[in-house]
Amino acid sequence: MNSAAPPPPDRQASREAFERMDAARWGQADLAAALLALMPERLKGAVFDGAAPELAGLLQDRLIGYLPGNARLHRMPVSITDDRMMGGLDLAATLATGRPVAETGLLVRAHKGVLIVPMAERLPGRAAAQLARVIDTGECETERDGLSLRAGARFVTLAFADPDEPGELLPSGLGDRLAFGLSLHGVSPARIREETLTPELVAAARIRLPDVQVPDELVEALIESALRLGIRSMRAPAFCLAAARGIAALAGRETMSDADAALACELVFASRAQIRLEAAPPPAPEPPEASDEGNDERQRPQPEPDDLTELMVDAVRVRVSLDRDARARRIRVRTRQEVPTGKSGDMVDSRRHGSRIGARAGDPRRDGRLDLLATLRTAAPWQRIREAPAGGAIISVRASDFRVKRFRHRSEAVVIFVVDASGSSAMNRLAEAKGAIELLLSGCYARRESVALIAFRKEGADLLLPPTRSLTRVKRSLSRLPGGGGTPLAAGIAAAAQLAKIERRKRKAPHVVFLSDGQGNIALDGTPGRERAAEDARDMARRLRALEEPVLFFDISKRPSPQAELISTEMGAIYRPLPVADAARVSQSVRNLLLDQART
């Protein structure tokens, strides 16, 4: 009788590796939740990158279970207005009572609770700055609409970033104020998980925490490792030290160990590391142990500060590498022959601009312009059954009666030219780009298109022409452009991805056009070296591909270059060799392959 055949060894090993990775990532996320419940005012919050909705809900439930008392969850939408977030005038209550009525803001209601920020990378800069200020001070203070409001606002913040967006793209200043930054790419929300941490264990650690001792050499190693990783914020070492003390308290130790510090570095430093992490040096041989049986644990040689620093940096290096691999597996691969589907010309809804298409229910303070006639028309049938309004008002209007105007307009396309301005052929490339830009702009107003120009040379990339539709401004700006120097291709791709993200957040449709031979020789940090520059260029190309914006790559080499074709494949671009400078061909190809294809 034949029994079922076991799975192939390679598949079994891959499954076991995935299960170990899944358990390790979830264990760190669960540990971060326990530490936040242990020290909410010291650690402030966490940023989770790539968490599925079910997994995010599970994390929220775990955190609520660890916190003392009856903490509540409060969700902060990215479209929140100032008065909804900070507090202001309650328009409906004011109309009903005939006197100013204050409305409590979301941040005040979240006091001693948990604030959930979904899609945190899309949070507007103003809202992110206000949230960061409240996280710093623990108070919400606002003066608006003739009201002066001030109240306590201390809460734990859980920010969830989009799965395809790295955590460092959060609004400036917000991620720095939250202790942990963890990637949950590839973690299954359906897997049954063992509860290694319990509310009782967290409660016991809360009592034990004040007695945990911190060796001086570990403090020095934490600061040194932060400097080695390019972290300049003083909040990060403070977060790391607090997290290490909390880990020791959860483990029942009275003194913080080097393993506690290394694990804290993974939780805090991995998302903040700013330098390229090279391969770890081989470990130094351990000193021989003393033969004297009378020596106890305290007499054994302890790691030197330099060894502790290497231990912490190595832990962060491994975590960054694993996060990068897990994120890369989620990126959809697009073939070179596939025409990307852009969003140029799509009809999109707007709150204030475009053609009027009716009205809808909404709050005029956050959802658009008030449609007075539609509001009165909605309130009129209910007047006989409503109580007479206070203050002698003729008609009773409630919040459910408000109607706002609806608009719709066609999205604007932004063509981002990224030009290789290095070497002897820089003048031809720049002339080619300038001619194509002027040809595209000749009819841009009717088509709602604008152009931008990024040139990369020497050690970096420069935005020479911000997105514009002014042909006069273009001719004046492009009259003198610099050229020559090295080829920082990775910096050019990174600048294009950043500008594309900014334009997409403005509800525009970016299209990226590269003119390069694909042979970079300057790394992302400005150091020379072809091998490292090529690796950086491939990494940045994958990040650009993750945005799923239409990309066209013109190979301007004398003969088709394998390096250029490889880079275009990594970024999911349409590859076209163009050995002869021809502005008309560039303009026509951009029109046919990108703009017109996106409209169909």
Q: 233: domain CATH number?
A: 1.10.8.80
Residues 237 and 377 both lie in one domain: no
Residue 298 within any structural domain of the chain? no
Residue 180 within any structural domain of the chain? yes
Number of domains in the chain: 4
Residue 279 within any structural domain of the chain? no
Strand pairing class (355-361; 180-183): unpaired
Residue 335 within any structural domain of the chain? no
How long is the chain? 600
Q: How many CA atoms lie within 13 A of 127 on its CB side?
A: 22
Residue 343 within any structural domain of the chain? no
3-state secondary structure of 407: strand
CA distance 123 to 125: 6
CA distance 99 to 96: 8
Residues 168 and 218 both lie in one domain: no
Q: 559: domain CATH number?
A: 3.40.50.410
CA distance 156 to 172: 19
Which residues lie below 8 Å from residue 161, measured CB to CB, with a gap of 6+? 47, 48, 49, 50, 119, 120, 121, 167, 169, 170
Amino acid found at 504: R
pLDDT for the residue 288: 43
Q: How many CA atoms lie within 13 A of 404 on its CB side?
A: 18
Residue 546 within any structural domain of the chain? yes
Residues 394 and 421 both lie in one domain: no
Q: 67: domain CATH number?
A: 3.40.50.300
Helix, strand, coil percent values for the chain (each to nearest 5): 45, 20, 35
Residues of the chain with pLDDT under 50: 1-4, 163-168, 277-303, 305, 329-345, 424, 445-446, 599-600
Residue 75, Cβ neighbours under 10 Å: how many? 13
pLDDT for the residue 290: 42
Secondary structure of 278-294 as H, E, C letters = CCCCCCCCCCCCCCCCC
Residues 69 and 174 both lie in one domain: yes
pLDDT for the residue 273: 80
Residues 190 and 202 both lie in one domain: no
Residues 528 and 584 both lie in one domain: yes
pLDDT for the residue 344: 45
Residues 42 and 188 both lie in one domain: yes
Question: Are 66 and 206 a contacting pair, CB within 8 Å?
Answer: no
CA–chain centroid gap for 520, Å, is 27
Question: Are 256 and 212 a contacting pair, CB within 8 Å?
Answer: yes
Question: Are 22 and 187 a contacting pair, CB within 8 Å?
Answer: yes
Q: Last residue of a domain, which of 160, 195, 230?
A: 195
Residues 471 and 589 both lie in one domain: yes
Q: Last residue of a domain, which of 359, 384, 409?
A: 409
Q: Last residue of a domain, which of 382, 409, 436?
A: 409
Residues 558 and 444 both lie in one domain: yes
**Closest among 555, 556, 557 to 565, alpha carbons compared:** 555
Question: Are 229 and 268 a contacting pair, CB within 8 Å?
Answer: no
Residues 355 and 465 both lie in one domain: no
Range of the domain at 254: 198-274+305-329
Tell me the two tokens of residue 245.
């003390």
Residues 172 and 311 both lie in one domain: no
CA distance 441 to 432: 14
Residue 247 within any structural domain of the chain? yes
Question: Are 133 and 166 a contacting pair, CB within 8 Å?
Answer: no
pLDDT for the residue 246: 93
Residues 499 and 398 both lie in one domain: no
Residue 345 within any structural domain of the chain? no
